[in-house]
Structure 1
Amino acid sequence: MEHNFIFTQERNMLMTPDFPAQRPPVIWSDPADTPEELTYRLKKNPTLYDRYQRLNRKWKGHLSDFLIGKKSLPLTYDPFFKFIFNPDYHQERLSNFVSSILGMQITVVEVLSMEDTLMDGESYLIMDLVARTDDGSIVNVEIQKQGYDFPGQRMSCYASDLLLRQYIKAKKMPDHSAHDFSYRDIKPVYVIVIFEHTISELRLESHDYIHHGKTTFDTGLDLHMPERFCIIALDVFREIPYSEIKKCSQSAWLLLLSTEKLEDAERLIQDYPWMSPIFQEIAALRRRPEEVFDMWSEALLQMDENTLKYQVERMQAENEKLKLKAEKSDAENEKLREQSKADKSRIAELERLLQEAQNK
C-alpha cells in the first residue's frame, strides 16, 4: 500500500492517512502579552496548566517572562542551545559559530550521534553536539553550567572518543582495504567547552575568557597531535563592560549566549543585524507553548541530574575524608591504648618497688 508521509513543521510529527496524529500541537495565533492572559490561555489546556503549576516559583517566573515577551530564552541550557544551533536545520549558523571560536573557517557537513559506546562496550559518552566538518575533522561543543562537571580529564576522554570514531570509520570504509589505512589520515578533533560558571582554576589575573590548547613538546618538536581544545569562561566574558568588548563575530556569538533581557537583545541586533533571524526564531516559540514546555522540562531534568550527581560526588568525597579521619583516629586510639598499657605496666612496676621499699 502506498502512503503519503507528511512532517508537520511545528513538531516534526509523522502522519499518514492510515495513522493520523493523535493530537495537534498547541499553537497560539498570537503570543500572550500579560501574565493574566498567559494564565487564562494555559487554563484552557489542563495538561499545560498542570505542567506550569508543577514548576517552582523561580522557573515558573522564567517561563512566564519568556512567554509574555519580557525575556529571551536561557541559551546556555542544552535544549535551547540545540534549538538555535541544530545542525540539521542551521549548518551554516553552527559553522559560523564554531569558526569564530576556533579562529579558522569551519564548514559543518554532518551531525553525528551524540551517544557513543566506549572501548569496553558498556560505558557511554553522551555529548551535547557533535558534527563532522568538510575536511573530515570532528567538532564537539559542550555547554556546562558548572565547571566542576568537566575537568581536564573528561575533555581528554571526549577527544579520545572523537579520534576513535575517525579511526573506526576509516577502517570500515568499503572502498579501502585494511592496508590502505594510514594514521596520517587522521584529522584534528576539537573539543569546545563553554562554562557558564567557572571554577577558580579557569580564572586568570589577565581576565582571559577563551583558552585554546593542544599537546606540545618542551623541546619545540613539531609533531602533529590531532587533539585540540577550547575552553570558554562565559561568566568572565560577562564581566567585561559592553563598551569594552571588541566588535567581532566571536563576541556577537558569546553575547548571544549571555543575553536574556530584551533591551540587551535589541542592542545586539542593532550592532549585529545578522542576529535578527535568530531572535525572530526565539520569539516565534512564544506561540508554541507546548514545545517550550518540552524543552524547559528537558533542561530542568538535566539540571536535576547534574545537581544530584554533584551532591553524590560531594558526599563520596566527604565520606572519604571521614574514612581517612576515622583511620587516623583509629591509629591514634591504638597508639593511646598502647601508651595506656605501657603506663599501667610502669605504674605496676613502681607500686611493686614502693611495696618492697616499705617492707624493708
Structure 2
Amino acid sequence: MRLPKSTTKLKQYFPMIREREDIKQEIRENPKLLEKYREWDEEQQNSLANVEVQKIGYSFPGQRSACYSSDLLLRQYKRVKGEKKKAFSYKDIKSVYTIVFFETSIKEFHEYPQNYIHKFKQQSDTGLELELLQKYVFIPLDIFRTIYHNNVRSNGKNGGGNCWNRTEAWLTFLSTDEPEIIIELIRQYPEFKEMYEEIYVMCQNVEKVMEMFSKELIQLDRNTVQYMIDEMQDTIDVQKEELEAKQETIDTQKGELEQQKATISTQKNELEEQKTTINTQKEELEAKQNTIDTQKDEIETMKRQLQSVMAQIEQLKKQ
C-alpha cells in the first residue's frame, strides 16, 4: 500500500502522517537504518514516502493463472476430502476464483483501454452447460487509474458530483496515492479512513517498514532475475526455432540450387551437342553446295560444248 505523494492536504484527516524530511532525519540518527538505507539505489531511497514495489507485468498471465487456479482447486480437494473422508462427494468442491491485479499490465490489456475488469470462465462451444469450477478475474489497475483518476480535472468525475460504486472504491484504495482522490474516497466511503489510519500508523515504525521494504526488494530482485531468465529462455527457444526454420529453408534452397545447377549443366551439354550437330550439318550443307557448284560448272561446260557442236552441225548443213 502506498503512502501519499504529498502529506499537506491529508494531515487534517491523518495527523499521524510524517513528512519526508522527518523520516530521513530519523534514518540518519540511527546507524542501523542508515546502513540499510545506503544499500538502496537512488530510486528506492526516493520511495521512502511512497512505499511500494513495482510489480512486473509478466508474460503469459493466462497460463500462469491457470496453474495458480489448478493449485488452489487441488488444495481445496485435498482439504475437503480429508475433512469429509468417506462422506466426501465432488459436489462439496466449490468454485475457485483466481483474481489477478496488475499494477503495470502487459500490452494485451491495453488493447481494451476502456475495460479494467476481465472475467473468464470455461464453457462449451455447443451450448452444453456443466459446472466447471475455475473462474478468473484480471484487473489492470493502471488502466483503472487512467479511466477514473487521470481525467479528474478534464471531466470532473468524482470531483464531488459523481460517486464511485463499491468496486471502484476498492480499486481506488488499492491503486492510488493521490491526496485529492484519497480525500474524495474517504468522503464517499468513510470506512476506508480506518484502513488508511492503520497503514499510516504502521508506517510510523520506520525500522519495521524499511525491513519489510528490504525483504520485498530482495524478493523482487529474485522474481525479476527469474523472470529475466524465463524471458531469455523463451527468447532463446523462439530464436532456436527460427534458426531451425531458416536452416531448413536454406537446405531446401540449397537442394533447389543443386537441382537447378544439374539442370543447367544438362542443358549446357544438350546445347553443346546441338551446336556440334549444327556444325556438322553446316559442313554437310557446304559440301553439298560445293558439289552443286561443281555440277553446275560441269553443266555449263557441257552446255558450251553442245552449243559448239550444234554450231558445227549448222555449218555443215549450209555446206
1:165 is aligned to 2:150: no
CA distance in 1, matches of 2:128, 2:228: 43
How many residue pairs match? The answer is 252
Looking at secondary structure, tell me which structure has more strand per residue.
Answer: 1
1:37-91 per-residue CA deviation (whole Å, 9 max, x = no partner) reads 444322322221111112111111111xx2xxxx5x44xx5xxxxxxxxxxxxxx
| Equivalence for 1:252 | 169
Higher RCO (Cα < 8 Å, 6 or more apart): 2
Residue 292 of structure 1: how far off its partner (Å):
0.8
Deviation of residue 297 (structure 1)?
A: 1.6
Larger fraction in helix: 2
Q: Please provide the CA RMSD for this pair.
A: 3.2
Q: CA deviation at 1:341?
A: 4.6
The yes-or-no answer on 1:45 pairing with 2:30 is yes
Tell whether the 8 Å contact from 2:100 to 2:137 is kept in structure 1 after alignment: yes
TM-score, normalised via structure 2 length: 0.66
CA distance in 2, matches of 1:44, 1:188: 53
Work out which of the two has the higher radius of gyration on C-alpha atoms and give 1 or 2: 2
AA aligned to 2:71 is D
Range 273-282 or range 348-357, more displaced = 348-357
User: Could you say what secondary structure the match of 1:190 adopts?
Assistant: strand
Instruction: Give the aligned partner of residue 41 of structure 2.
Output: 56
Residue 189 of structure 1 aligns with which residue? 96
| Contact 2:23/2:206 (8 A) holds in 1 | no
Partners of 1:46 and 1:318 in 2: how far apart?
44
Q: Over residues 247-293 of structure 1, what are the superposed CA-to-partner deviations in whole Å (9 max), with x where a residue is unaligned?
A: 22221111111222333322322222111111112221332111111
**Distance change (3 Å), C-alpha of 1:161 and 1:347:** closer
Give 1:263's aligned amino acid: E
Code of the residue aligned with 1:309 in structure 2: it is Q
- The answer (yes or no) to whether the contact 2:163–2:188 under 8 Å persists in 1 is no
What residue is the counterpart of 2:146 in the other structure? Answer: 239
- Among candidates 277, 280, 283, match of residue 197 of structure 2: 280
> Where in structure 2 are the equivalents of 1:30-179 lying within 5 Å?
33-35=19-21, 37-63=22-48, 66=49, 71=50, 73-74=51-52, 77=53, 145-149=55-59, 151-173=61-83, 176-178=84-86
Paired residue secondary structure (2:135): strand
- What residue in structure 2 maps to residue 84 of structure 1? none
1:17-32 matches, within 5 Å, as none
C-alpha deviations, 1:292-326, integer Å up to 9, x for none? Answer: 11221232223323322332233223222332332
Q: 1:331 aligns to what?
A: 248
Question: Which residue identity lines up with residue 109 of structure 2 in the other structure?
Answer: L
Shift of 1:337: 4.3
Change (3 A) 1:280 1:221: same
Distance in 1 between the 2:261 and 2:115 partners? 65
- Distance across 2 between alignment mates of 1:148 and 1:59: 21
Q: Cα distance 1:309–1:212, how it changes in 2: closer, same or farther (>3 A)?
A: same
Give distance in 2, aligned partners of 1:346 and 1:214. 60
Residues 218 and 46 (structure 1), Cα distance of their counterparts in 2 relative to 1, 3 Å cut: same
Identify unmatched segments of 5+ residues in structure 1. Answer: 1-29, 78-143
> What CA distance in whole angstroms lies between the structure 2 residues aligned with 1:31 and 1:237?
27
Counterpart for residue 115 of structure 1: none
Do the aligned partners of residues 152 and 346 (structure 1) sit closer, same or farther apart at CA in structure 2, a change above 3 Å counting? closer
Rounded Cα–Cα distance in structure 2 between residues aligned with 1:228 and 1:236: 22
Which AA in structure 2 matches 1:59? Q
Structure 2 gaps of 5+ residues are 1-15, 150-156, 281-319
CA contact (8 A) 2:114 2:147 kept: no
1:196-211 → structure 2 map (5 Å cutoff) = 196-203=103-110, 205=112, 207-211=114-118
1:225 corresponds in structure 2 to: 132
* C-alpha distance in 2 between matches for 1:315 and 1:233: 25
